[in-house]
Amino acid sequence: MTPIFQNQTPHPKTPGLFVDVEGTLIKAGRLNQNLYHDMLVAQKRGIDVTIFTMAPVAGLRNSLKHLGVATEQFAVKNKSDFHGHIFTDLIVDDLPPHYQGFSAATPFVYDAT
């Protein structure tokens, strides 16, 4: 698999916790309660938490809310908004960041199995 936008000049560094939706926060149609709890704890500690996805963001808030996510507490953005960024804190995702057009100082590739 070839990384997208591999030759793009990186943007300034982007802090915070970034959590993927499909295969990470939601697996097999169910909310990953442990990860969601960790997101709430991080936010209480003053860390900016962003839910991000490659899927269309429109309607995602309602789907997440239906699963029990307090969506008003988190930014919900499309991953394409971050192409070229270097994340300085943590990404929790089921795919490596460099295959999605960005990089991370501390990526955590979530085991979706």
Alpha-carbon distance of 104 to 16, in angstroms, equals 11
Cβ-contact 78, 52 below 8 angstroms:
yes
Higher pLDDT, 36 or 109: 36
- Split at pLDDT 50, 70, 90, the class of 106 is confident
Q: What is the pLDDT of residues 4-30, one digit of tens each?
A: 555 555 467 889 999 999 999 999 999
Residues 27-80 have pLDDT tens digits of: 999 999 999 999 999 999 999 999 999 988 888 989 999 999 999 999 999 999
